[in-house]
Every structure is written in C-alpha cells, then in structure tokens.
Structure 1
Amino acid sequence: MKGLPTRSLHPLLQILLLVGLAVAGLCLASLLALVLASSVFGLSVAQFGQLAAAPERVPHGWAVSMLLQGLSLAGLGLGAAVLPLVLRAANRPAERYFAPRPLGQAWWLGAAALLIIVSVPVQSALVAWNANAHFPAFLHDFEQWARSKEDQAAGLTKFLTEFTSPARLLVGLLVIAVTPAVAEELVFRGVIQRNLVRWFGSRHVGVWLAAALFSAVHMQFFGFVPRFLLGLVLGYLYEWSGNILVPMAAHFTQNAFQLILLYLAQHRHLSASFDPDANQALPWPSVLLSTVLSAALLYTLHQRMAADAPPLAVAADPAAPLR
C-alpha cells in the first residue's frame, strides 16, 4: 500500500485523522481489557465499569486498573503509529514521519534525561503554586468542580502507585513510565506538534499550542502550568533534535523518577520528612540553582543539537521540524 503522500493532506486533516485512529485504538484497547479482565480475573461487566470510580472495591482492582491503563495508552500510541502508514508516500519509510533526522549523538538521550532530573526543584515550585491557585469569583462553581476532579484523579493515582513489592514497581514503570513516554510523544510531538508547526509555519507556535493541548487533555487544572512547561521542554527537544527518541527519553525520566522516589519513600529508604506526594516547593536555594542549571542545559542542548545533527533525511518534507 503506497498510501497518501504526506504533503497531499492538510495538517488539520492529519490531526483529525489522528483523532479518529486514536479513538479506534482506545475502543479496541478497552474491549481487549474487558475480555482479559473477564477471562483472567473473573470480573463482570459491572465490576469492570466500577474501576474508574472505586478500583479498590473491585477484585484484583490494582492489576486490572494497570491492565486497562497500559492497554489504553498502547491503543492511543497505536493510533498515532498507524497514521504514517496511511499517509506515507512511495519509497519513504514510515518511521521518518516521527524522526526526519537520525539521532545525532547518543548522549542527547542522557542529556534530555538529566535535564528532567535537574529541573525537579523548579517543577516543585510550579506544582506548589499551581495547586494553591484560585479562579476568579465568577468561576467559583467551575473551581469546585475542577478541585473535585483533581481529588478523584489524585485518589486513583495514589491507589495505582502503592508499590508493595519490587514486582509492582516494575509493572508501574512499564505502564506509567514507558508506555506513556512512547504513546504520548508519538501523539503530541510526533503528530500534533509537527502538523501545527507546518500549519502555522512557526515552530514556536506549534510547540506552544501542542504543549497547551498536552496539558489540557490530562484534565488536571491545578497541575496545568507545570505540565504545560514540561510540554514546552519536550516540544523544543523534538524541534531541535528532529528525532522522537529525545523527548521520549525525557518523558520517561519524568515519570520513572517520580515512581522510584515514591517507592523509596513507601519503603522508608528516604527521610521520614520527605513526602513525594506533597505539593510543596523545595527550598528556594535549590529552586534557584535548578533554574540556572536547567537553563544552561537547555542552551547547551540547543547549540549542540544544531551543530551535531545530521542532514535532514527527507529535506523536501514540509512537515519536518523547522530548525
């Protein structure tokens, strides 16, 4: 199947096609999760429907919730992965849709991961500020609704991240770190951002809009700002490198680092006063140092990626990231 040439389809249509494929992938994933939950764990359809509201009341709730979460993310990523197969032009490998440039240097992946770890104190300050933000008086009802949704999401997250054994931690790393790093980067950077860049003819507009969508889709309004900032970092890493593996490495580190800290705290390997779940900013000297180091790392990555990147694999592809 030769498919449709990428340049023949408007960027907006490519994004809409992604939405359709992602919805189809999510539906297939939910159906597969239901079949497995019934055949492996003996759950009824009614019990399966209770997972989102009260997974702790469902038999094998943790395992089935992880199964559903993992398959849903995989279905989302599959929808994005199928898109270039539909669009690919003759004699053009589909993987170039997501990586128009080969990986310039292997250390880029480590540097992207290091950037995330170094920026943790800055993130803590943003998380603390955003968690305590208040909407204007005329949005009071919306604020109450948003906080209730936030509390519900926090309860589900706390349930899923109760790692009572190393085996549970490994499952958590696979489902909460590896799978979203691949699936969400394919969707938000690999498809949405690249098409917004092409549509508006500006890498900055594309990166900022994709970051806003990335944060908004998570439906956690009191965590919008730090997730938006993360989306910006991931977006620019993709633009500068032209290779989807770079933001994937950073995204994986973001999630995996938090899970490992949680596991260490739960098993009393960290100070009793340290609570990874608390929305508290780290001391201001560490936030200031983190800001300086993060800015320096970003600048270094920008300069080195521009200098070390190989030529574009498909120079004529207008959907390739802008330099």
Structure 2
Amino acid sequence: MKGFLPRTLHPGLQILLLLALMVVGACVGMAIFGVYAQLGPGVSLLEMGGIVANPAAYPQGWSLLMAYQGVLLFSAFAGGAVLLASALGYGWAEYFSPRRLGAGWWLLAAALLIIIILPFMSTLIAWNAGAHFPAALHDFEVWARASEDKAAVLTKFLTRFNSVGRFLVGVVVIALVPAISEELVFRGVIQKNLVRWFSPHVGVWLGAALFSAIHFQFFGFVPRFVLGLILGYLYLWSGNILVSMAAHFTQNAFQLLILYIAQRGQFGWGFDPDGNEALPWTLVVPSALLTAGLLYFLHQRMTAPTPPTEMLTLSSEGVKRTV
C-alpha cells in the first residue's frame, strides 16, 4: 500500500497530523449525522444544540444524543487514526497491530485483569473525588466541580436503561465505540509515536496522561491515568491493539452491566454503582495483589521470545528439519 507521506515522518508531526485528520473525521461525522437526523427524526444540526444541552426535554433526546455521540466519536477518533495509517502507506493491521496476537487467551486475560483491578481502583476513585486544589486555585476547583457535576447529570441521563434495548445500545455507544476509537488514537497512534520519539516507558506514561486529561474530569484524573497505564503496557507488551481494546471494552461494559443490574433492583445490599465510595479493604488488598501477579504473568508471556518454527524439507538425503 502506497501512501503520500513518508513512513519516517517525525513522531511529533504524525501526532499533529492525527489531530488535523480527527477534525476532518469530525466534520464527516457531523455531515453523516446531519443527513440521518434530517431524513429520520427531522431534526436539524441547530436543533441538536438544544438537545445536547437538555436532552430530557425532548421525546427523542436519548436516542438522538446516543447516535450523535457514537457517530461523532467513531468518525473523529477511529476515522482520524485510520486515515493517518493510510496516508503513511500502512495497512490498518500493519500499523495498529505490528505483532500478531500471540494467543486468544490474551484477550480474555486482559478482560479479567480489568475486572480484578476494580476494587483497588475504587480507592483511587474515592481519593481523587475528594481531592482539593491549593487555595490559589480555589476558583478553578469550583469551576471544575461544577463542570463535572453538569457532565454527571448528562451521563446519568444517558445511562438510564429502562429496557434491554436501551442497555444494548449503551453497550455499543458507551463501551464498544470508545474501546475501538480511543485505543486506535491513544495507543495505536499517540503512544506508538511517543515511544518512538522518547522511550517505551516515557511513551506509555505520557500517553496515559493525555488519555486521562482529554476527558476533562479533574476529579477522576488519577484512576483514569492508572487505567491508561494498564492499557498502554498491555499494548506495549503484546504489540496488538486488540488486547488493549478488549481491556478497554471490558472496563466500560462491566460498569454498564453493574449499573443496569442495580437499576433493576438486583443488588440487595444498598450498593450504589454511581457513588465514589471505596470498597472494603478485604476486597481492595486481594485485588491489588492479584492485579500485580496477573500483570507480571502477562508481561512474562507477552514479551517472551517467539520460538522458531520448524519446517520439514525433502531432499536426496531424506526428510530434514529446518528452522
């Protein structure tokens, strides 16, 4: 596949080009959604501004906002990332997964890791939610909390699953689309180029910081940063974007499942999945230990040298084994 840009393009320029292509992708997504909204519900893009601001005031607010977010995120993020790979002359699999998947259980192990770490993450969530900025940044803290409270109201509206159909739509838009789109951008392009520009560890940590910062949730920065580190090292070790995608999807989908079960009244001990309370230490400590052990196990397996493949050849001397 031949691209119009050299593959040796500086990593910093590749990241800047990604941002430009994401803008292009966002414009395409807006156009696609505009056509859908006009031909289907009969809503203009100008009217969508009001729906985004107050979706509960519109009968079709939930479905329109879900479609809007899904299309825009996928076209901007996934679209921008694959356009960059094509511009550099790479096939998509070649660029985002330079190494073949070592084994199918890698995906299951990545998903299991995310579930195991959740009790430990609850302590980070609780600490970060209660953090305070220095006195000099008091006004910024007030603004940040107000912004996050406003975003939380929208999130609560979108995750109000009063039917199985709504829950499945939520899994696609809130779990699957971000897992694909954000991994292509943050791990597949940004981390890859930061690793090439600096070093593997610097690339992973900077990529995780950008991944957390882009969500503009200051009182959730630390747990999302740790999640970014987990996803980053899974991609670094495996060399395959499907591994970090599996972990990212599990993170989102499992939380939606817990929320859906709680909304149906299936939790009888007063568990609040929307709360920021830390889970008991009897769960947190085993979670931390098991997470560390599983990370070490995955690092050893994913970075182990691939054994040479033996081939049988027929010659005048008989059958020979060659490597």
* TM-score, with length taken from structure 1: 0.92
Moved more, 202-211 or 299-308: 299-308
Whole-Å separation in 1 of the counterparts to 2:31 and 2:307: 43
Whole-Å separation in 2 of the counterparts to 1:289 and 1:189: 29
SS at structure 2 position matched to 1:302? helix
Equivalent residues in 2 for 1:204-215, closer than 5 Å: 204-215=201-212
Residue 38 of structure 1: how far off its partner (Å): 2.6
CA RMSD of aligned residues (A): 1.5
Equivalent residues in 2 for 1:150-229, closer than 5 Å: 150-200=148-198, 202-229=199-226
Note if 1:83 corresponds to 2:84.
yes
Whole-Å separation in 2 of the counterparts to 1:301 and 1:155: 38
Whole-Å separation in 2 of the counterparts to 1:153 and 1:34: 24
Whole-Å separation in 1 of the counterparts to 2:170 and 2:214: 21
What does residue 71 of structure 2 align with? Answer: 71
Residue 83 of structure 1: how far off its partner (Å): 1.0
Relative distance call for 1:38 and 1:309 in structure 2 (3 A) is farther
Moved more, 234-243 or 36-45: 36-45
Maintained 8 Å contact 1:265/1:275: yes
Q: Decide which structure has the larger Cα Rg and report it.
A: 2
Relative distance call for 1:250 and 1:169 in structure 2 (3 A) is same
SS at structure 2 position matched to 1:8? coil
Moved more, 3-12 or 161-170: 3-12
Equivalent residues in 2 for 1:93-104, closer than 5 Å: 93-104=91-102
1:69-100: CA deviations, max 9, x gaps? Answer: 11011112111011111001xxx634211111
What does residue 11 of structure 1 align with? Answer: 11
Moved more, 79-88 or 240-249: 79-88
Q: Which runs of 4+ in 1 moved over 6 A?
A: none
SS at structure 1 position matched to 2:53? coil
For 1:233, give the aligned amino acid. Answer: I
Which runs of 5 or more residues in structure 2 are unaligned?
A: 309-323
Note if 1:248 corresponds to 2:245.
yes
SS at structure 2 position matched to 1:36? helix
What does residue 303 of structure 2 align with? Answer: 306
Whole-Å separation in 1 of the counterparts to 2:44 and 2:4: 43
Relative distance call for 1:54 and 1:309 in structure 2 (3 A) is farther
Residue 43 of structure 1: how far off its partner (Å): 2.1
Whole-Å separation in 1 of the counterparts to 2:247 and 2:203: 19
Maintained 8 Å contact 1:161/1:172: yes
Name the structure, 1 or 2, with higher relative contact order (CA <8 Å, separation 6+).
Answer: 1
Note if 1:34 corresponds to 2:34.
yes
For 1:252, give the aligned amino acid. Answer: F
Whole-Å separation in 1 of the counterparts to 2:266 and 2:74: 32
Whole-Å separation in 1 of the counterparts to 2:9 and 2:256: 40
Residue 45 of structure 1: how far off its partner (Å): 3.8
Which runs of 5 or more residues in structure 1 are unaligned?
A: 312-323
